[in-house]
Every structure is written in C-alpha cells, then in structure tokens.
Amino acid sequence: MRINKELQAAADMNPTKKSTQMSIFDMCDKISKQAISLPLYQRDLSWTLDKCIALLNYQLLGKAPVSPISMNVVNNTQEYVPQVSFIDREIIESIERGQLSVVDGQQRLTTNYKAYTNDNDFRNVVLDISKGRFIKTDVAYKNNQIPVGILLNQSDSVLFEYTNRISALRKPEITSLLLQVRSKIKNYNYTINSADDLSEDEQIEWFEVLNNAGSRVSIIQMRFSKLKMYGIDIYKQYTSVFNNRLIEVGYDFFTPEKTTVSYPIAALNPSYEIVSEKAHSMNYAPIPSDTKENQLCVMHPDALKKCLDLTLQLEDKVLDFIEINTLKKPDRIDYINYMIGYFAFNGLDLSDTQKEYLVSWYNTVDFTNKTNSERREIYTKLIENK
C-alpha cells in the first residue's frame, strides 16, 4: 500500500500546539501600533452596537471564555497578502516579520479597540453600576454610569480624572469596584490560534470553516474589500452612505444584519446596466439573489465608481420623491431599490404622467410572498413603463 506523503505530513503536524494567549489591552496596543492588522480581503465591520455591548457584557459577566481569535503570522515579508489597518482600513505599506494578521475575530477585536480608544461610535455605551452591566443610553450620563471609553480607556489617567469630577464615583467602594472591572477586562485573555504564512486561499478556507463554510454575504464582502488596492473602499464610499441615508429618514430595513450588504449591492444592478450600456436582463433585478459582485469586481475602477455615484444619486432622487409626494413610509427596502431602477432607466426628470404612474405603482405594489421570478417580473414591468 502506498502512503500519501501529504497525509503523513498532516498526521505529523499538530497546529493546536501553536495556540497562545494574549490580553485584551495587549492586543489593542498592538492594533494601535499596526502590529496586528487585517488582510486586504477581510470584510468591513458588521456588528451592531447591541452586539458589541453583548460582547462587553460577556467578557465582564460570562462564566466561560470568549471563543479564540485566529491569526496568520507573516514571517515571509516578501510575499504576503496586503494588510490594512483596523477601523479606517488604510493599506499598510510595509510590515515586519512576525506581523499578526487576523483571519477570524475582527469584530471582537474592533469592539474592544473602540472602547480602548474611546471611539465616538461608543459614546452611548456605559457601565451602569446599579444594573451591573453595560447598557446603551440615549440621554445624559447619570451619576451611576460611566462611559465605556472612559472605563476601558488605554490611559489609566482618563478614568481617574473622570471619577474625580463626579462625587458619586469618588466614594472608595465605587472607585475600587471600577478599578476591579477595568483590571478584569484589561487582563482578560483571549486564546490565539495561529498559523504561519498561509496563502490567501488557505486563509479564506480557514475563515469559511470557522464561519459555517462561509456565507454568500461574507464572500461578497471579501471580494469587494480587495478593491481597496484600486482606491475604492466600497463600504466607506457606498454601502455605509447608502444605508445611513435610509436610517437618517427613519427607514430601518436592515434585519437581519446581513442585508446591510446584500440590498445596497443589489441596488447597483440598474447602474451597472446603464454604465455598461447593456439592455436590461431579467436576472438583473435589484434583489439579493441577483447581486452581480463578480461583474462589478472586474469592472474598470472608473466605471465602478460611476456605478456607485449614480446609484447614490438615484437613491437621493427616490427619497425626495417619496417625501414630495407624501407617500406612506415604505415597510421594506424593495420599494427603494425598485424605484432606483425606474429612475435609472427613465431619467431623473419625470413627466407628470410618469410621476402619476410611479405614485400609483408605489401605492399598489405587493411584494409579500413573491418568488424571485415574480419579483423580477414586477421590476421589469415597472422600468419598461414609460
């Protein structure tokens, strides 16, 4: 019997022996020094504030450790996946041997890093001493509350200065408790599972196994993240802008969280067909099942930028149209995406007849329990009505 050499090598290697531990503050310090970074393919931040608070509470109150972080150790500094920094995702031009590149754990590390740096995103997160947990508050801080960015700040002096200003927090028993909480989180250890010099494909395979064999959304996000090499950050320049505009006018469609990517990307379909000068095809409806990430990712960067800018322009037009015509608040994002397509194919300046038609369509269309084929048919009939 012949023995496969790769099987023999695999049997001889035990990657679990490379696991180590590192405290939250040590990891945050390395992130600030860019000694811990993200591979270019990594998707953007996806956790809601509530999910971040849940992690902070688990680290404080949980009876079991948080799951391990997975990192690729870059020893070959001549050939490696390009790296970007946390939060701002700027490309790191050069790295040193031993660079830690996060394969899985970005959301957890970023949550702790935002508290460590007192990030503005966490301005409404406080430790409520009376409730005994981190909570979200939309009002001024109470005397029994301390902002997480103060409590877990990288500088000890920030906490001392804050407590000295508030008499209720200056009580010895309160100060002692806050220092205990800070010390616990500061020295909370994560297990780090590491591997050396993995290729991009090997890293993505590892990520997919850790995340239930990889969701479609995760893979889409990875593909778009790589556009950063061409000066396009699709999250900062497009999806975040697209989503924030909806939130600002009170449209909160994004449940589950994955729709924050799939629907904005689907909304690019009309612009893609316009910029590419293609006739409309049935499977280019602005719905998640029809997203064209492959086609978008191979476009020339200038053409892709036109798609992003045009879609945002069309989104603005749709939001204005709903407000001007005092239409009912949409209960699903399909209204927005489909109308983006209507304006894309029929122009921004509609005739009175077109406006009347669009208002009538908006008030009567029914997306409930429709198959993808039926939804495509609704879209095609809409955009072809002149």
CA pair distance 57, 141, nearest whole angstrom? 19
User: Band of the pLDDT at 217, cuts 50, 70, 90?
Assistant: very low
CA pair distance 347, 325, nearest whole angstrom? 18
Rounded to 5 degrees, what angle do the CA atoms 236, 99, 116 make? 55
- Per-residue tokens: 151: 């409590």
Dihedral sign of CA atoms 315, 316, 317, 318 in order: positive
Residue 285 predicted with pLDDT over 90: yes
CA pair distance 366, 364, nearest whole angstrom? 6
Amino acid identity of residue 92, one-letter, is: I
pLDDT at 334: 94
- Give me the mean pLDDT over the 175-180 stretch: 94
- Per-residue tokens: 26: 């040590």
pLDDT one-digit tens code per residue, 312-340: 999 999 999 999 999 999 999 999 999 99
Can you spell out the DSSP letters for 105-153? -HHHHHHHHHHHTT-GGGTTEEEETTTTEEEE-SSPPPTTEEEHHHHT-
In the chain, what are the domain boundaries?
18-160+185-214, 227-384
Neighbours of 113 (CB within 10 A): 20
Say what the pTM is. Answer: 0.64
Neighbours of 222 (CB within 10 A): 21
Whether cis (ω within 30° of 0) applies to the bond prior to 147 is no
User: Band of the pLDDT at 12, cuts 50, 70, 90?
Assistant: low
Are 83 and 60 within 8 A, CB to CB?
A: no
Residue 197 predicted with pLDDT over 50: yes
- Per-residue tokens: 235: 């999250």
- Give me the mean pLDDT over the 164-170 stretch: 89
Quick one: which of 229, 230, 313 has its CA closest to 271? 313
Can you spell out the DSSP letters for 61-93? H-SSPPPPEEEEEE--SSS---EE-TTT-PEES
Dihedral sign of CA atoms 131, 56, 43, 26 in order: positive
Stated as kind and residue range, the H or E segment containing 22 is strand 20-23
CA pair distance 261, 254, nearest whole angstrom? 9
Residue 255 predicted with pLDDT over 60: no
CA pair distance 269, 131, nearest whole angstrom? 48
